[in-house]
A = this chain, B = another copy of it.
Amino acid sequence: MHKKVYSKNLSLVPRLVKLAHKFNRFYLEGQGKNECKPFIVEGHQVGLVRMDFVDLLKKYPEVFEIKSNSVVLNPAFRDYNERTKKVESVLMECRQNNSFIALNGWRDEYYEIRPVFSSEPLLKMDRSATCLFGICKYGVDINGYVRHPDRGICIWLQKRSTTKPTWPGKWDNMVGGGLSEGFGVLETAYKEAEEEASIPSHLLKNLSSGGCVSFFYESEQGLFPNTEFVYDLELPLDFVPKNNDGEVDTFQLLSTQELLELLFSTDFKTTSCPVVVDFLIRHGVVTPENEPEYPRLVELLHVPLQSIYRHNVKSNGAL
């Protein structure tokens, strides 16, 4: 049923690749411009810094060394704590001077920075600052859905609270959150499911890991290389999510057709689109039959962030 609805509305199909261009703005347009410098900590590239922020970091030579082809965190800092403290002192000053709008979203919530996903963290910084350093960020998303007898697969969405520092009032996946300090992937999924949508633990038993999506977005605020771990959760027809932490305005159940229309509006959080498109692909709603650029679309849901961030670093860590 839902597959037919999508096929009927063929006008939406070629636009899915257009949407993938939007959330991969940096991957497709920004990379070649050579206007960013890799951010190196302890010989590992952990980020990518735009020139406007590089110019500001020049004022702190005791913390950041600006080389011709990189920004290097002072290797004299001994450990995780010292690196964290030194970077934070710079960011606090920037914040007071109101230099970068990204820092207006300061939330006293740390993000741990690692050379690759599975390794030990090198430092932590406030989540609002990570886009200034182009830090590769990891998050978790849960696609809550029901198999409706008449409407086919339907998906629960949340409307973000208007008081959120990022994407206020936009539509978003039912449950989503960044990996925070000290929390594992599945652990974060459980935590966010409870806080954001009050999913009881007997339903969370059906949570099923389904892959991850990677994309590289750019906005006025900064760079967003992002990998989201994706979970599916089939819910009973009569379950209604309820918010628990004040970060969600409302929840709504949408048919795939309604969901597609919303995706293309300006009311949906751009960086949450990849998770939805991946869901529609994995559940056979978007197929090679109704999406002529299917291989390109799947590719743009899995851009090679792990390779891009290793690319400039030689095996000895030198650029």
B299 lies within 8 A of A305 (CB): yes
Interface stretch of the complex, out of A206-214, A237-245, A247-255: A206-214
A209 lies within 8 A of B284 (CB): yes
- Please give, as numbers and ranges, the residues of chain B lying within 8 Å of A303 by CB-CB distance: 304
**Smallest CB gap from A3: residue in B:** B209
B304 lies within 8 A of A214 (CB): no
Given A287-B186, A299-B306, A303-B304 in contact, is the A292-B211 Cβ separation under 8 Å? no
B295 lies within 8 A of A212 (CB): yes
- Please give, as numbers and ranges, the residues of chain B lying within 8 Å of A292 by CB-CB distance: 117-118
The contact of A284 among B118, B210, B214, B283, by CB within 8 Å, is: B210
User: Cβ of A281 < 8 Å from any Cβ of B?
Assistant: yes
Interface residues of A in 279-319 (CB under 8 A from B): 281-284, 287-289, 292-296, 298-299, 301-307
| Interface secondary structure of A, over-half rule | mixed
B289 lies within 8 A of A210 (CB): no
- Please give, as numbers and ranges, the residues of chain B lying within 8 Å of A299 by CB-CB distance: 214, 302, 304-307
User: Cβ of A66 < 8 Å from any Cβ of B?
Assistant: no
Interface centre among A186, A227, A293, A295 (most CB of B within 10 A): A295
B296 lies within 8 A of A117 (CB): yes
**How many copies altogether?**
2
- Please give, as numbers and ranges, the residues of chain B lying within 8 Å of A301 by CB-CB distance: 302
A214 to B117, CA, bound (A): 22
- Please give, as numbers and ranges, the residues of chain B lying within 8 Å of A281 by CB-CB distance: 209-211
User: Cβ of A224 < 8 Å from any Cβ of B?
Assistant: no
User: Cβ of A229 < 8 Å from any Cβ of B?
Assistant: yes
**Closest beta carbon of chain B to A161's beta carbon, Å:** 28
User: Cβ of A19 < 8 Å from any Cβ of B?
Assistant: no
- Please give, as numbers and ranges, the residues of chain B lying within 8 Å of A294 by CB-CB distance: 117, 212, 229
B304 lies within 8 A of A304 (CB): yes
User: Cβ of A262 < 8 Å from any Cβ of B?
Assistant: no
The contact of A302 among B287, B293, B298, by CB within 8 Å, is: B298
Interface residues of A in 257-289 (CB under 8 A from B): 281-284, 287-289
**Smallest CB gap from A307: residue in B:** B299
Q: Which residues of A pack against B, CB within 8 Å?
A: 116-118, 138, 184-186, 208-212, 214, 227, 229, 281-284, 287-289, 292-296, 298-299, 301-307
> Could you give 9 example pairs across A and B, Cβ below 8 Å?
A117-B293, A208-B284, A209-B288, A211-B298, A214-B299, A227-B295, A229-B288, A301-B302, A304-B304
Known: A211-B281, A229-B294. 19 other contacts (CB 8 A): A116-B296, A117-B292, A117-B293, A117-B295, A118-B293, A184-B289, A185-B289, A208-B283, A208-B284, A209-B288, A210-B282, A210-B284, A212-B298, A214-B295, A214-B298, A229-B288, A299-B305, A299-B307, A304-B304
